[in-house]
Structure 1
Amino acid sequence: MKNISFNKSNRLGYYLMMFVLFTLAACQSGVELPKGDADNGGLTLPGGFEAVVVADSIGRARHLTVRDNGDIYVKLRVANEEGQGIVALRDTDNDGKADIVNVFGDYPENGSYGTGMEIYNGYFYFSTAGDVFRIKIDPEKLVPEGEAELILRDDYKNAEHGFEHIAKPLAFDNEGNMYVPFGSPGDVCQEFNRRPGMAGMFPCPQLEWHGGIWRFDANKLNQTQKDGYRYATGIRSVVAMDWNDKENSLYVVQHGRDNLYRTWPDLYSRWESAVLPSEEFFKVEDGTNGGWPYYYYDHIRDKKLLNPEYGGDKELATGVDSIAMPLMGFPGHYAPNDLFFYTGDQFPERYKDGAFVAFHGSTIRGPYPQAGYFVGFVPFEDGKPSGPWEVFADGFAQLDTIVNTGDAAARPMGISMGPDGSLYVTESVKGKIWRIMYPGDKEDFTADALAELEERKKTRTNIKKPSEEEDNLEKGMLEIGEQTYNVYCATCHQSNGLGDGTRFPTLSQTKWVRGNKKELIKVLLEGLEGQIDVKGVSYNGIMPAHSFLSDAQIAGVLTYIRKSFGNNSSSISAIEVGNVRKEIE
């Protein structure tokens, strides 16, 4: 080896070079990242990842974006009384916790479900259900002082068919264009929305103004839908959307249709209705036709099939060659509500250019456990998935079996990335924000780090494909409920639930039974005295409190009542009973 001698000058250069290399290595290894919470904020993550809760209970958070200085901006579901619906957060001491939290934004709240929150060309762009606004970023201040400018107003074309699926996520390309979905005003383009057994309209008139994605000039003020260009059609409902710069293309994850069993009970089982149809992951190009309302995707069979409203029988696929196939199908009703392609350098290499999806969680999977409520990941290569989807972050709900949506402590909603490559996730129940980091050496990351989450994918009831028999929650609950009913209720209300018509009222198809769950729970916990009217008949007796029953027994008997005697209402969980019991106490 050649000997090298150092004089004072080149020694100084050497030390300077080593300092620079050490500093770069420290940054790349994550030394300057804040320490994660001991429990990762309740999340289960791949091995080597950490999470810190940036803020909690800021309000029902929807989507978010992060500035290049690390400031965070979150769009709330609804604005406050002052018309402000954006939360700005700053961490001044780099401990991962926001110590400055401000609410701002002066704009008319045109409908709830504010969704879009993006930074583009020096502006914050954000949306309500009916409008898209922008506010000029002030590079010197956390909260901008400029007024909100109206970019787009939804004039609700085809309004006679309803106002479903009107959330407005936003995406921007590199040529000054803004992309906005206009979701379907109903489920499957029927004359009377969600009518059991009714055929769909053909051709579907709603596709002229809905069920697709429109492209607009991102810099033009006061546009309406007619000023845009219909970029894609046949896409029912999109909340998860992102522009992939590497592919220079738009990607979306669509919410699939609802109610296969309720509208076609002779064709679909309750299990099929719980797991189907798929949430479809599309690459969207100019002219893409996703197939709504005529088709749905079955990820289990990897087939696109005709909807029953258009003659489908679970086998027919007439004309399917004329529509786009999804890149991937996720299980039904996971509710994909954000999509983000990771471009940072902090995470291990396998995550580079891959897609993170926030699954907000189902509401209509009963009698099977509600599903979703986690952040998934799809590895990408050459613009398409290079492997099956994975679970990246779970534990938001803080329980495994979710009987009703309201049982979940948190529902992941928005995803964004910080300037250092950290991933930020919001949730919509109380408004918590997590910062997910990888502080270690990326070269140490192996497939073993995914083992725990792979196991959760197979076993957790909010993720796995449910067993048709074993995971039917009503099976055991109804048995317990029927037993409890026969012991404590049947004497008065009779075994058929119809009462005696004089002293004890019927339980069949009444607002008392099928209405507000909280009030019904209170009736069992507190009892009932005084005159009440049930289906036009007055009763003036005393129902004793049944607070001596356990939460599980009350949940069971009320679920049994709400599913029997001509009723067909949603289940009641022990968690809901426990919450009401705590309020009363």
Structure 2
Amino acid sequence: MKNKKNATGVMLVLCALLIVSFKNIGNNTVPPAKDTATNGGLFLPGKFKAVVVVDSLEGRARHIAVNTNGDIYVKLRFPDSIGGNVALRDTNGDGRADIIKKFANYEDKGPYGTGMRVHKGYLYFSSEANVYRTKLNPQTLVPDAPLELILHDATAPHEHDAKPLAFDNAGHMYVAFGAPSNACQEQNRVPGSKGIKGCPLLQQYGGIWQFDEAKPNQVQTDGIRYATGMRSVVAMDWNTADNCLYVVAHGRDDLRLQFPKIFSAWQSAVLPAEEFIKVKKGTDVGWPYYYYDPIKKKKLLNPEYGGDGIKAGNGAKYTQPIMAFPAHWAPNDLFFYTGDQFPARYKNGAFIAFHGSTNRSPYPQAGFFVCFVPFKNGKPFGQWEVFADGFTRKNTVVSVSDAAYRPMGLAMGPDGSLYISETEEGKIWKISYTGNKAGFGKAELAKMELRKKLPGFRLPDVLKSDLQTGMLKGGAKIYNTYCANCHQKNGRGDGNMIPPLSGSEWVTGGKFMEKDLAIRVLLNGLDGPIKVKNRPYNSAMPKHNFLSDADIASVLTYIRNNFGNNSSLVTAAEVKKVRAELGK
């Protein structure tokens, strides 16, 4: 009897521990929304209303999907040992999640894998290296079926390795393979490096591959290279209205950093376009040889292949965008609206989530909103519109980390409402229309059109918008010329691809390589996955060995004594010594 009582006591303790460990799971246990602002702080047209589904998710959020019963599935930005995804359920119909559960602990849990779609009763999602699927069971919320490996990429991880997903109506899955390069240079991101003729990267990267949506354990060679010439694609969707694939592709970066004698800081901030593309089998968009100039409205030859910002070369022969958006806005999701809840003009139109720029310095960062593009007869009808804005909580964003929220994922609920996820806190909004659909029109749209006059939308003035005007000389000037474009003016990076400098062991170094490590990074550059303060990052930093010993010493001294750092100065003699050892 005594043993039985002890066993009962142990079970009660275990149950109590389980309840505590799942304190965010269950009715009435999720804390009330912190954001009590109207529409969760968003600006929306007319009678559109927003509810905050969840204020924040541990691990934050990338793409999302919604099942036919309203359950929400979220791809985490920073997965952990419990899982890389989160399932959310609203049990009382108020639009807010009151059950939250992590699931799917898979091996390769990098921060860039992002695809998340519900298709034919399955939840498909991607990591940097793999595409998985699992059968959904509306009764259990968290899928209880086995996790199937549908596609494995043996070359992952690398730059631009997002793996977005789309599905047609004929049993095919489409996966984008981003290119680990800026413009297929002989030396990636090395200033002045020439592009490789007949770019070999296009055999495996820089395009979209078509696969069987149900066949397990596929590799890239099992698929068909469906389209090419796209350096990086994260926003992708199948449009059922015209039965065709569409993407919004990221343009290349660093025109000024790579070719300062050809391009100004202003040109680098406003070029090239983010391209909205209708993709058919055999489509070639022209990367790495060409980029699209949104001001001149034509494709121009990349400087790596002899371009000078004027030469058009054979750009006209490549697929042209159906619409061009300003540079570096980072289009990270695309969704064609098929619901009936919104006014009729939104039917079959395209919503695009712009994550916002990181590299328009010394000009304000831009984007950070959800756009709508009306479609008619399978083509854009009119100009793009601001649909949801206010994510940054400020009109001028100097460094990307100044933005409170950055839109990422889009999905539609069974009632036709639109869900938006963001990456910085893991916040999710549900947007519904509450007015008279027949009365929605020009007046409501005109108010949103006024937002295009804000710094985050308008074309920056060459002189008046330059945030570097009047800056200090020395290390601060060098930093803002060569470093702030990626690491940001405040040294915090973008929280995703570009690591922070604040408190970074790569900046302050260890006990025996305090200065040498930072000097070596500037002279050698850095390419591939690294960890900073135990967070993974995967990008490419170009060599800065073109700077003089004095300039490198000056900028490193500035970095090591700003952004919360407090380290010893670096001298030109120390840089000279390391340069000699490296032969740089």
2:374 is matched with 379
Amino acid in the other structure paired with 1:44: F
Shift of 1:38: 4.9
Could you tell me which residue of structure 1 aligns to residue 65 of structure 2? 65
Q: What's the counterpart of residue 211 of structure 1? A: 206
Asked if the contact 1:78–1:109 (Cα under 8 Å) also holds between the matched residues in 2, the reply is: no
Query: 1:189-245: per-residue Cα shift (whole Å, max 9, x none)?
Result: 012101111110001011111111000000000000000000001111000000001
Q: After superposition, give the CA deviation of every residue in 1:137-185 in whole Å (9 maximum; x if it has no partner).
A: 11322111122110000011xx8xx821111000000011000011111
- Alpha-carbon distance, 1:133 to partner: 0.3
Contact 2:123 2:134 survives alignment (8 Å): yes
- CA offsets 1:353-400 (integer angstroms, 9 cap, x no match): 111100001111100111111111111111111111111111111111
In the TM superposition, residue 37 of structure 1 has moved relative to its aligned partner by 6.0
How far residue 322 of structure 1 moved from its aligned partner, in angstroms, is 2.5
AA at the equivalent of 2:418: L
Out of 540, 551, 557, the residue aligned to residue 566 of structure 1 is 551
Alpha-carbon displacement from aligned partner over 1:95-154 (angstroms, at most 9, x marks no partner) = 111111111113222533121111112110000011000011113221111221100000
Residue 424 of structure 1 corresponds to which residue in structure 2? Answer: 419
Does 1:180 pair with 2:179? no
* Residue of 452, 455, 479 corresponding to 2:450: 455
Note the residue ranges of structure 1 that are not aligned, 5 or more in a row: 1-35, 486-492, 498-512, 524-530, 537-561, 581-585
Q: How far 1:565 sits from its partner (Å)?
A: 7.0
Aligned to 2:387: 392
CA distance in 1, matches of 2:273, 2:423: 23
> What secondary structure, in the 3-state scheme, does the structure 2 residue paired with 1:455 have?
helix
Q: Which amino acid is 1:107 matched to?
A: Y
Tell me which structure has the larger Cα radius of gyration.
1
Kindly provide the amino acid, as one letter, of the partner of residue 566 in structure 1: D
1:440 & 1:296 partners in 2: Cα distance? 42
C-alpha spacing 1:249/1:37, structure 2 compared with 1 (3 Å): farther
**How do residues 143-542 of structure 1 correspond to structure 2 at under 5 angstroms?**
143-156=142-155, 163-458=158-453, 460-476=454-470, 478=471, 481=472, 517-519=501-503
Question: Counterpart amino acid of 1:475?
Answer: T
351 and 516 in structure 1: CA distance in 2 versus 1, 3 angstrom threshold: closer
Name which of structure 1's ranges 112-121 and 282-291 shifts more when overlaid on structure 2: 112-121
Q: Could you list the per-position Cα deviations for residues 433-476 of structure 1 after superposition, in whole angstroms to 9, with x for gaps in the alignment?
A: 00111111101212111223211112x11121111111111114
8 Å CA contact 1:79, 1:109 repeated in 2: no
Counterpart of 1:404, as a letter, is S
Distance 1:469 1:222, change over 3 A: same
Identity of aligned residues (%): 55
Q: What secondary structure sits across from 1:436 in the alignment?
A: strand
Distance in 2 (CA, whole Å) between partners of 1:66 and 1:373 is 23
Give yes or no for contact 1:279–1:331 (8 Å, CA) kept in 2: yes
Using the alignment, how far apart are the partners of 2:462 and 2:337 within structure 1? 36
Change over 3 Å in CA distance of 1:109–1:121 after alignment to 2? same
What letter is aligned with 2:130? D
C-alpha change, 1:569 and 1:468, in structure 2 (3 Å) is: farther
Q: How far has the Cα of 1:293 moved from its partner?
A: 0.3
Residue type of the partner of 1:111?
G
CA distance, structure 2, for counterparts of residue 255 and residue 107 of structure 1: 28
Residue type of the partner of 1:76?
A: L
Alpha-carbon contact 2:78-2:109 (below 8 Å) kept: no
Instruction: Give the TM-score taking structure 1 as reference length.
Output: 0.76
> How far apart in 2 are the matches of 1:496 and 1:312?
28
- Structure 1 letter corresponding to 2:78: V
Q: Over residues 524-583 of structure 1, what are the superposed CA-to-partner deviations in whole Å (9 max), with x where a residue is unaligned?
A: xxxxxxx997679xxxxxxxxxxxxxxxxxxxxxxxxx9x9726979x99xx97x99xxx
Corresponding letter in the other structure for 1:74: V
Distance 2:218 2:162 in 1: 17
Task: Provide closer, same or farther for how the CA distance between residues 152 and 432 of structure 1 changes in structure 2, counting only shifts above 3 A.
Answer: same
Q: Check if 1:79 corresponds to 2:79.
A: yes
The structural deviation recorded for 1:407 is 1.2
Partner of 1:5: none
> 2:362–2:466: 8 Å Cα contact kept in structure 1?
yes
Residues 29-77 of structure 1: CA deviation (Å, up to 9, x unaligned)? xxxxxxx965110111112111010002113200011111111111112
Count residues with an aligned counterpart.
475
User: Which SS does the other structure have where 2:447 is aligned?
Assistant: helix
Which residue of structure 2 aligns with residue 25 of structure 1? none
Q: Distance in 2 between matches of 1:122 and 1:69?
A: 11
Residues 226 and 282, structure 2, Cα contact 8 Å, conserved in 1: yes
Question: Which residue pairs with 1:123 in the alignment?
Answer: 122
The question of whether the paired residues in 2 share the 8 Å contact of 1:106 and 1:147 is answered with: no
Distance 2:348 2:404 in 1: 30
Please give the alpha-carbon distance, in whole angstroms, between the structure 2 residues aligned to 1:115 and 1:69: 23
What one-letter code is carried by the residue in structure 2 that aligns with 1:118?
R
What 5-or-longer segments of structure 2 have no aligned partner?
Answer: 1-34, 479-489, 492-498, 518-546, 566-584
Task: State the distance in 2 between where 1:154 and 1:341 align.
Answer: 28
Q: Distance in 2 between matches of 1:181 and 1:273?
A: 26
Residues in 2 aligned to 1:565 and 1:51: alpha-carbon distance in whole angstroms = 53
The 1:137/1:260 distance shift into structure 2, 3 A limit, reads: same
Distance 1:225 1:470, change over 3 A: same
Amino acid at match of 2:77: R
Q: 2:121 and 2:205 mapped to 1: Cα distance?
A: 30
Give the 3 Å change call, closer, same or farther, for CA 470–417 of structure 1 in structure 2. Answer: same
Point out the more displaced range, 383-392 or 123-132. 383-392
How has the CA–CA distance of structure 1 residues 231 and 91 changed in structure 2, closer, same or farther, with 3 Å as cutoff?
same
Question: Are the counterparts in 1 of residues 123 and 135 from structure 2 also a CA contact under 8 Å?
Answer: yes
